[in-house]
Amino acid sequence: MGRFLNRVLDLPHLGMGVSTEYGAFRSANALNIKALRWDHPAFAQFLEVGVSLDTGLDEDTMEWCKGGLPTTYHFLDINLDDPQDLDDGWLDGFRRMQSILKPAWVCGDAGLWHFGRRERGHMLLLPPILSLDGAKRMADGILRMRDTLGLEVIPENPPGHVFVGDLHILDFFAQVVERADTGMLLDAAHLAIYQAAMGHASTTGLDGFPISRIIEMHVAGASTSTVDDLEIIEDDHTVNVLPDTWTILRETVGQAKNLKAIVFECERNELQQCLPGFEQIQSLCVGSPFATGRSA
């Protein structure tokens, strides 16, 4: 495969979409994806499907796919830096899902979905160790996975409350995407949580990040709580988007010349509650390459 900044020109512009995982749209007071697609099609141009092979795809996702509508595949069960995870069983399952979803690309939180042997329904999700060695292992895993799957594999900065390693998370992922020659899924909500936990300003580190490699962004709500006198921010996919998350999106979207997709992760909230968030995303993108649908 050629260099990513050439390959990215062949990736589809997906626009704005929503995320889901098994049963999300059937939970109490959840988003009605059909109504969103019908009444506000600009906000439901694609579906990012969180997939654990143990649970598969639910009825809502299957119906979306039967309509031939665009998707991305968001893995929930593989550690990118673990060669043993890309085993025959996982690959067989992935190919079954791929035949249904026909995803534009594969993406997912680049952390630890399990510790030790992968177990059914584990879904631990811890941040990676933020070191050069860790970045190299993750990049090697992305290269291996891309070559095996024949699809772009896009890492996402994961959430967390405690981070280990000597690199800023953006410096870590800059190393990952450059070494793996891949794109980046920048989760603005996760980054806002990291910056607050580390005592940084919301945009610290963005000036040194290769923003042209960002092809997808996520926006989601969060809530603050106190545990044993420690204030923590939970990534809870509500519609209560932090001001720092909006700042990160605003500062990034105008420079992200290859941005193809933005997801508002609000799947467990009623449609009317979600609309202001979609509208805010839309307004922040006015005049950007993303809004015009053209990569630079």
**CA 88 → CA 83, 149, 152, distances in Å?**
12, 12, 19
For the chain, give every domain's residue range.
4-289
The structural architecture, per CATH, of the domain 4-289 is: Alpha-Beta Barrel (3.20)
**Does the global pTM surpass 0.75?**
yes
Distance CA 189, CA 219 (A): 6
Q: What is the 8-class DSSP label of residue 161?
A: S
Bridge partner list, 226: 231
Distance CA 187, CA 207 (A): 16
Is residue 296 predicted with pLDDT exceeding 60?
no
Question: pLDDT of 219-258, one tens digit each?
Answer: 999 998 887 777 889 889 999 999 999 999 999 999 999 9
pLDDT, mean over the chain: 94
Question: pLDDT of 176-209, one tens digit each?
Answer: 999 999 999 999 999 999 999 999 999 999 999 9
Is residue 294 predicted with pLDDT exceeding 60?
yes
Distance CA 31, CA 25 (A): 6
Residue type, 171: D
Is beta strand 222-227 parallel, antiparallel or unpaired with respect to 230-235? antiparallel
